């Protein structure tokens, strides 16, 4: 890449503990021409802590479509820019995607400055399988949408993770407990890197009880990690042909009816077909 253009640095910042800022991140924030920040008041505390006095420009979810072309022009004139969010790694449930995409599409350099990320911090201390996982971001806000979300994931065999706020953690676990088996292992990682950091690995049933009964377990910021479903391969597998039959029935009938009819046609257990039908992504409508 030609050096006449500026570079966009995507800089991770701490998720609570200010000491989690990398040495390189501080260097870059000092050296760039502009810092694009989600909330200038918030980032000022961090910059003050590290003695960084640099020009700030706002880039948040409500202005990023407009601000990104402006920042791209700055890069084109040779200025370098650091993108930071309020906490952790930008773009991860945070603003920045339109800017990064625009800069990449324009053929200019985007440089990651890695560091804190709540998702990765939680996974690293969870004690659940993480060689493969799915990050789901924030959950839908309504109970019915959350239940549909859990229905789609009940048969996932790999670990999945979501972010949740203190306002919805209890409601989300309650909805989850209606769909996901109560003995499924989950990890609640709360206030990571902060004074009241809590990382609990237990069954969904116990976790729900804990959060419902302990006010402190409903305070702060949360990452929830869910173990994948255990699959007895012999028991749980259905053939492609049976899946096809189920798929055709699902187009016309409810999950319950489709599973019952498919069981009659194929001789496969109704419960298994029902679970497969759920995993095929249809919400219950009877
Ligand atoms: N970009 C950030 C990252 O790299 O993790 C996440 C930003 S997202 C807007 C904020 C959410 O991340 C919070 O609602 C919470 O779910 C999670 N989170 C952020 N900091 C956390 C912490 N210290 N402990 C637990 N969860 C945290």
Give pLDDT tens digits for 125-182: 999 999 999 999 999 999 999 999 999 999 899 999 999 999 999 999 999 999 999 9
More confident site: 254 or 14: 14
Helix (H) or strand (E) holding 145: helix 143-153
What's the mean per-residue pLDDT of the chain? Answer: 92
- Nearest alpha-carbon partner for 118 in 82, 86, 154: 86
Q: What is the pTM of this model?
A: 0.83
Q: How do residues 183-231 score in pLDDT, each as one tens digit?
A: 999 999 999 999 999 999 999 999 999 999 999 999 999 999 999 998 7
Report the distance separating Cα 120 and Cα 260, nearest Å. 42
255 class by beta-carbon count within 10 Å (0-12 exposed, 13-18 middle, 19+ buried): buried
More confident site: 191 or 240: 191
CB 118 less than 6 A from any atom of ligand 1 = yes
Pick from 18, 60, 223, 225 the residue to mutate for probing ligand 1's pocket: most ligand atoms within 8 Å of its CB.
Answer: 223
Homologous superfamily of the 119-226 domain (CATH): Tetrapyrrole methylase, C-terminal domain (3.30.950.10)
- pLDDT value at residue 263: 87
Pick from 14, 22, 60, 88 the residue to mutate for probing ligand 1's pocket: most ligand atoms within 8 Å of its CB.
Answer: 88
Beta-carbon neighbour count of residue 52 at 10 Å? 19
More confident site: 68 or 240: 68
- Span 119-129, average pLDDT: 98
Cα–ligand 1 centroid distance for 195 (angstroms): 15
pLDDT at 236 over 70: no
- pLDDT value at residue 240: 72
What dotted CATH number matches 8-116? 3.40.1010.10
CB 102 less than 6 A from any atom of ligand 1 = no
- Across the beta sheet with 56-58, the strand order is 56-58, 34-37, 81-84, 8-11, 110-113
**How does DSSP classify residue 55?**
-
Report the distance separating Cα 145 and Cα 67, nearest Å. 32
Cβ atoms of 72 and 66 closer than 8 Å: no
pLDDT at 266 over 90: no
Report the distance separating Cα 231 and Cα 276, nearest Å. 12
Report the distance separating Cα 215 and Cα 74, nearest Å. 48
User: Residue 29, Cα to own-chain centre: how many angstroms?
Assistant: 26
**How does DSSP classify residue 3?**
T
> pLDDT category, 284, cuts 50, 70, 90?
very low
More confident site: 182 or 276: 182
- Span 109-116, average pLDDT: 98
Report the distance separating Cα 179 and Cα 204, nearest Å. 11
CB 117 less than 6 A from any atom of ligand 1 = yes
Measured from the Cα of 120, ligand 1's closest atom is 5
Q: Describe the crossing of helices 255-266 and 270-279 by its angle, rounded to 10 degrees.
A: 130
> pLDDT category, 50, cuts 50, 70, 90?
very high
């Amino acid at each position: 890449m030609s050096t006449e253009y500026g570079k966009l640095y995507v800089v991770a910042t701490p998720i609570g503990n200010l000491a989690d800022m990398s040495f390189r991140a501080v260097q870059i924030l000092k050296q760039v021409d502009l810092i694009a920040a989600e909330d200038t008041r918030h980032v000022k505390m961090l910059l003050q802590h590290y003695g960084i006095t640099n020009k700030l420009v706002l880039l948040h979810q409500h202005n990023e479509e407009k601000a990104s072309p402006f920042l791209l022009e700055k890069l084109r004139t040779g200025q370098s820019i650091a993108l930071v969010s309020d906490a952790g790694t930008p773009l991860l449930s945070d603003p920045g995607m339109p800017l990064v995409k625009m800069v990449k599409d324009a053929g200019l350099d985007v440089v990651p400055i890695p560091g804190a990320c709540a998702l990765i911090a939680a996974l690293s201390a969870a004690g659940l399988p993480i060689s493969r996982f799915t990050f789901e971001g924030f959950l839908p806000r309504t109970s019915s949408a959350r239940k549909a979300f859990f229905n789609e994931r009940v048969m996932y065999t790999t670990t999945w993770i979501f972010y949740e706020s203190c306002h919805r953690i209890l409601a989300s676990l309650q909805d989850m407990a209606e769909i996901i088996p109560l003995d499924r292992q989950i990890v609640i990682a709360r206030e990571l890197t902060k004074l009241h950091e809590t990382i609990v690995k237990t069954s969904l049933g116990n976790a729900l009880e804990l959060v419902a009964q302990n006010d402190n377990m409903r305070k702060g910021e949360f990452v929830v990690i869910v173990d994948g479903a255990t699959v007895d391969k012999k028991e749980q597998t259905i053939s492609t042909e049976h899946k096809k039959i189920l798929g055709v029935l699902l187009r016309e009938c409810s999950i319950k009816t489709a599973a019952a009819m498919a069981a009659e046609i194929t001789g496969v257990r109704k419960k298994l077909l029902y679970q497969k039908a759920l995993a095929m992504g249809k919400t219950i409508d009877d």
